[in-house]
Chain A
């Protein structure tokens, strides 16, 4: 059991929709991450939060908007996405930011039509 859960597991949305991805970690960690996994490309780090403060925003388009209301929950709000945003979105957590043993959730498979 990973200790990091993500919902929904699958999402299909149109380009004009607004949706949110949710991540929850039950490990008592202080840092949380969003990654994008596209076919044949390395995992791309999108956002890093440490103690609910955003510490890294890796040049991600503004159509992706993260929210971290507390150290256990992380959201990724999506609006006016493009078909090339279709990917697997992975959430991860670690004890502290920069503590490199990361625990990953199963991901949300997003398809933008």
Chain B
């Protein structure tokens, strides 16, 4: 079974540019999550999709961040325009069911550097 994949693995962009991150969850997993970890800080929740619907987007920092999951398969996270404080590692995770007891499966992350 293929795991969660993320693309790109690294991205270096200038302040003001746009970047789009992609996440492919494990096949059959309806739940998809985005997280971000700024260097040395905790992993912070950004949002949660159930299929193509946003279940919870309370962690999205501001309206420069836009997440989509068209068709309920892969998801994209766009940052436009990027700011210096957006730098960090963006993780995607998926789980089969929404029940709180189910563990999430994480991708390798995308390291975003905004200069």
A associates with B: no
Instruction: Enumerate chain A interface residues (CB-CB to B < 8 A).
Output: none
The chain B residues found within 8 Å of chain A, CB to CB, are none
